[in-house]
Amino acid sequence: MTMENKQRQDCDDFLHYLAQEKRMSVHTVNNYQRDLKQLLTFVHTNELKSWPSIKSSHIRQFIVQLHQQGLAGRSIQRVLSAIRSLYRFLIREGLAENNPAQAVQAPKSEKRLPSTLDVDQMNALLDGTQTVGFIACRDRAIMELFYSSGLRLAELVSLNIRDVDMGDHLVYVTGKGDKSRVIPVGTKALNALKLWLAERDKLTFFEQTALFISQQGRRLGVRSVQKRLEHWGKKQGISDKVHPHRLRHAFASHMLEASGDLRAVQELLGHADISTTQIYTHVDFQHLANVYDAAHPRAKKK
């Protein structure tokens, strides 16, 4: 058996081990097979005729080649995972002494901006939601509050009636890591909340402290809120799914576009690190350029 065939056989033995002993799914095994086929092509092209002859530098060269071919960072990470797993198997079988892929890292994936809704879309969604009846009033108040104050889904469903200060136009939120923050609530959101509370009181669930409840008087859950937003998005004919994340992102984007104050938006969103806010929001470059030109002492035109 040639060395090339021996390496192929070792890979086949590894795949058999994944399927039979590790009980991995057919889909996962097929992914490993596809990734290792690319590795074998590289190994044979570069005449690396034994597993111990493959060094970390070769794996890095292979990764660079995949990156140049346009493979995404996440896919390259999966390839690396397959190679590491293969070498753990080879070491166990006495066919290799170390794992050359262990310290190799994939290029960072480009962080995708979450899709957002523009101001006109948000107005159409909110104004198009009915304000008659228990469910419609509740759903309108939920969406208005998401957009008004940029709440996370978990934050919204955990709100109690006492967390909303109607007089001072504020909502008191407990966010990630049990960190508390106070966020302004806009006039339209307050009006929607007042309509909702009036409907809520008709069912006389006065002992229930939750702000948003079902018709059975139970605190509304995460999945229920997601389904209701999706329902209204479809009804308004909005492309892509409308979900809490999009409304929170719309809040952040529109606030940043209007103010240019990244630090303030960071505080409103409850982000510990401002870099999270930068990823979470997107502002058109021209707006940032205008802010820069107006504010930076070395950028101002004479």
Residue-wise pLDDT for 213-232, tens only, equals 999 999 999 999 999 999 99
Query: What distance in Å separates the CA atoms of residue 141 and residue 129, rounded to the nearest whole number?
Result: 10
For residue 282, indicate whether it is catalytic. Answer: no
Element (H, E) at 170: strand 170-174
What is the model's pLDDT at position 114? 54
Largest CA distance in the chain: 83
User: Do 104 and 129 contact (CB within 8 A), yes or no?
Assistant: no
All residues at 6 or more sequence positions from 164 whose CB lies less than 8 Å from its CB, including other chains = 170, 171, 172, 185, 193, 211
For residue 280, indicate whether it is catalytic. Answer: yes
The three-state secondary structure class of 209 is coil
Question: Which residue matches tokens 């967390």?
Answer: 163
Per-residue pLDDT at 39 exceeds 90: yes
What is the model's pLDDT at position 282? 55
What is the amino acid identity at position 225? V
Select which of 176, 179, 218, 241 is catalytic. Answer: 176
For residue 249, indicate whether it is catalytic. Answer: no
Per-residue pLDDT at 3 exceeds 90: no
Other CB atoms within 10 Å distance of the CB of residue 151 = 26
For residue 248, indicate whether it is catalytic. Answer: yes
Select which of 152, 188, 231, 282 is catalytic. Answer: 152
pTM of the model as a whole: 0.58
Query: What distance in Å separates the CA atoms of residue 240 and residue 116, rounded to the nearest whole number?
Result: 10
**Domains of the chain, with CATH numbers?**
3-92 (1.10.150.130), 119-293 (1.10.443.10)
Instruction: Express each pLDDT in 251-279 by its tens digit.
Output: 888 887 777 777 888 888 887 776 667 66
The three-state secondary structure class of 213 is strand
For residue 84, indicate whether it is catalytic. Answer: no
Q: What is the mean pLDDT of the chain?
A: 86
Per-residue pLDDT at 236 exceeds 60: yes
Task: Compute the average pLDDT of residues 129-152.
Answer: 92
* Residue 80 to residues 10, 85, 98, Cα–Cα distance (Å): 17, 9, 15
Q: State residue 210 phi and psi, 5-degree precision.
A: -60, 140
Provide DSSP, 104-128: --PPPPPPPPPP---HHHHHHHHHT
Class of residue 282 by CB neighbours under 10 A (exposed 0-12, middle 13-18, buried 19+): middle
Instruction: Express each pLDDT in 174-202 by its tens digit.
Output: 877 778 899 999 999 999 999 999 999 99
For residue 78, indicate whether it is catalytic. Answer: no
What is the model's pLDDT at position 87? 94
What is the model's pLDDT at position 275? 66
All residues at 6 or more sequence positions from 85 whose CB lies less than 8 Å from its CB, including other chains = 14, 18, 32
Pairwise pLDDT comparison (25 vs 157), residue with the higher score: 157
pLDDT band at 118 (very low <50, low <70, confident <90, very high): confident
Pairwise pLDDT comparison (135 vs 71), residue with the higher score: 135
